[in-house]
Chain A
Amino acid sequence: MPRITFIEPGGLRRVIDAPIGITLMEAAVQNGVQGILALCGGACACGTCHVYVDANWLPKLGPREEMEEGMLECAREPRDNSRLSCQIHVTADLEGLEVTIPKQQGAN
């Protein structure tokens, strides 16, 4: 299982062995990683699983789709390396991936 590091809003590094096929969001939520709420469960409808991806990893994740793009544009503190973790599936290629969770999630 690829090893993924989530940096929680408080700075704590949570290292998770994530099963291939599930999403980054699911790996975080099931393990109680703080700061990823994922209220819609991965429907790209809430904007509460926002993460910042280490820039070196962005190309490996593929582009953001239109719905995700729109969600992120109006999310809190969007950056060029913003992604919704529910839209990223865990693959063997993601071994060592590191993502940072923003302090606040959602639109309001």
Chain B
Amino acid sequence: MISTIVVVGGGQAGAQAVDTLRREGFAGRLLLICDEPALPYQRPPLSKRYLSGELTAERLPFRHRAFYEEHRVELRLGLPAVALDPRGRRLELADGEALSYDRLLLCLGAAARRLTCPGTDLPGLHYLRTVADVMLIRAAIKPGSHVVMIGGGYIGLEAAATCRQMGCEVTVLELADRVMNRVVAPCVSEFFAREHRAQGIRILCNTRVTRLEGTGRIERVVCADGSEVAADAVIVGVGAVPTTALASDAGLACDDGIIVDEYCRTQDDAIFAAGDCTNHPSPRFGRRVRIESVDNAFEQAKTAALNLLDRKIAHDRVPWFWSDQFDSKLLIAGLSLDYDQQVLRGDPASRSFSVCYLKGRELIAVEAINHSKDYMAARKLIAERAQMNPAKLADPNLALKEAVGNTQTGS
């Protein structure tokens, strides 16, 4: 009998899991362990409307405190789990409390990857992952401040746009030859780089940071070619690493995330995991993946919660992602892994276009820029494993669903 379930992690996945457990009728003792002091909250606004101050802290939590009380979820806020004993089914918290569980769900999330170069110990270096991080950034910048973003991925570009809108002088330093190179097609990178430059942001690609310098605090960033960029504040957005120490220290297999099966189960029958911290099989994409997204955290946690209650449901969803930068919205459906062909729909100069990825004729991913229609249609078509006609697909006047079909015409 399952009388106690402990969920570790107060992000999207952890918050969703306790919700689902109660909705599905779990009536036993339920605990949610959060290492941050705040009620579980949404992270996506941190680099955007929370950084700008438009969204206040009260609007970040997923649920009011009353929700947890009503649903008898025992919260442990500001108390990281420090040790796990799978054999004894016990979890130890930072204050020494030892919790026994029948089932454990690890929703440990990911942490900002640290910059490693001389000077990172100087004041003025920031990451952007938590409310506390953003509070520090807000205290460090004002209109006219020189802000240097290290990394031109989602976080880097979103924060760059927000800082610019707050009146800062912003420079983005990107190691690769284009921004967001790991997640979008070259024409999409170009589009966003152009948008940023038009707003007065300086983007320097192929730029490796070698050290941070200053007297008592960071004053400049020094690059491999010897160039220097003046900085009042440096924000690092060079990716995230899954949080796995609790699991790996307990002997659970980890390899770029906690290894789970399609039922979100680790090697230990009583321990499950969900969200950014997991490395899981994707039957649809025929490989293991680790996905950092709100959607995956939500869906995988929901599935994990059902499986904690001994349902047997596989996690196999079409992931989706979004990014807001200035007034443009990037919407991504699917994963552009191992594709055979990219098809552009529409003209980037029109500021509304999309890029479709085909594997054979199967639609596996779409990047839609200011084009919610293609994006929503794509989520459905990818889920259905639709076969597309590439020639029709390239015609932006045809709706995406009208480009379904296995035979190529016109070429």
Q: Find residues 34-52 in chain A having any chain B CB closer than 8 Å to their own CB.
A: 34, 37, 39-41, 43-47
Q: Count of B residues near A, CB < 8 Å?
A: 37
Question: Which of the residues B42, B61, B62, B379 comes within 8 Å of A107, measured between beta carbons?
Answer: B379
Chain B residues close to A by CB (< 8 Å): 19, 23, 42, 44-45, 59, 61-64, 67, 70-71, 294-295, 298, 317-318, 320, 322, 324, 329, 331, 333, 370-377, 379-380, 382-384
Task: Report whether B61 and A43 are in contact in the complex, using a CB–CB cutoff of 8 Å.
Answer: no
**CB within 8 Å of B: which of A84-102?**
none
Per the bound structure, the CA–CA distance linking A32 and B71 in Å amounts to 10
Q: Contacts of A71 on B, CB cut-off 8 Å? A: 372-373, 375-376
B376 near A70: Cβ-Cβ < 8 Å: yes
**A residues adjacent to B (C-beta < 8 A):** 22, 26, 29-32, 34, 37, 39-41, 43-47, 66-71, 73-75, 106-108
Query: B236 to nearest A CB, angstroms?
Result: 24
Contact (Cβ within 8 A) A74 B44: no
The interface residues of chain B lying within 8 Å CB-to-CB of A107 are: 333, 376-377, 379-380, 383
Q: Return the contact of B379 from the options A29, A40, A68, A106 (Cβ within 8 A).
A: A106
CA distance A75 to B320 in the complex (A): 15
CA distance A37 to B44 in the complex (A): 15
Please tell me if the beta carbons of A39 and B295 are within 8 angstroms of each other in the complex: yes
A26 to chain B, nearest CB (A): 7
Q: Whole-angstrom distance from the CB of A102 to the nearest CB of chain B?
A: 15
Q: Which of B23, B59, B67 has the most chain A CB atoms closer than 10 A to its own CB?
A: B59
Report B73 CB to chain A, min CB distance, Å. 11
Complex Cα distance A69/B373, Å? 8
* A71 vs B324: C-alpha distance when bound (angstroms): 16
C-alpha spacing A29/B15, complex, angstroms: 12
- Inside 8 A of B374's CB, which chain A residues have their CB? 70
Chain A residues with CB below 8 A from B377, complex form? 74, 107
Give B382's nearest chain A residue, CB to CB: A108
A41 contacts which of B45, B333, B382 (Cβ < 8 Å)? Answer: B45
